[in-house]
Amino acid sequence: MQIVDKVYGYGRLVGKTILVLLSAYFIVHSAKFFSLAPEVLGKYLPYTWAILGHIAGGALALVTGPFLFWKSFRQQYRRAHRIIGRAYAVSVLTGAFGALILVTTTAPVLGLSYVVSLHALGAAWTVTTVLAWRMAVTKQFKLHEEWATRSYIVTMAFVIQSVVYVLPVTQQYLGATGEVLATIIWVSWTGPMFLYDVILSFQKRLRPAVM
């Protein structure tokens, strides 16, 4: 059992390290839009406020998220946890609203499948975050933690997409068609979400046996 715990612990450490590195890449890669240069903004130029709100909201959510799952920090600084939680929720809603504007204005040129995938992603981001907040308000803290985790999974989906988009295999063999991009978007959050719920299901089954 100790070996399993150690492997699980190392796995979580490696996973967190990867998340931090990917988040840093996303933030640095997206920072170029804040130069406000027309050649950088491109098709987003008429909707500068929307792209900046989307990026800023997503970046703040990425940065604040890990503090919400830091158990010792959460237990020792409950008030700070609540404040950071509110900041996370506001950042998600800001990012989601910016995304909604962009999807309805700049995305249709790539086809219906691309638009639908983005709307689904935005809806999942918003719903999981609102449910996490609702569970906290009603003091259903276990459910709050589960929905907060799902929310952060969707937050990380934006990072996964930005990385997959620039992979040589994507650029060389798949291209940037609406169908390919839509598939990447769907898999970026439904895959991790499915895996999380499978793990969560096993944990709930094993918990009574351990007790």
- Which ranges of the chain would DSSP assign to H, the alpha helix? 2-30, 38-41, 48-69, 71-76, 78-105, 112-137, 141-165, 168-169, 178-210
Specify the pLDDT at position 207.
67
Specify the pLDDT at position 211.
44
Closest to 200 measured CA to CA, from 135, 158, 134, 153: 153
Which residues, given as ranges, of the chain have pLDDT below 50? 209-211
Cα–Cα separations (whole angstroms), residue 11 to 4, 7, 72, 122? 10, 6, 19, 29
Specify the pLDDT at position 155.
95
Specify the pLDDT at position 59.
92
* Residue keyed to tokens 């709050």: 144
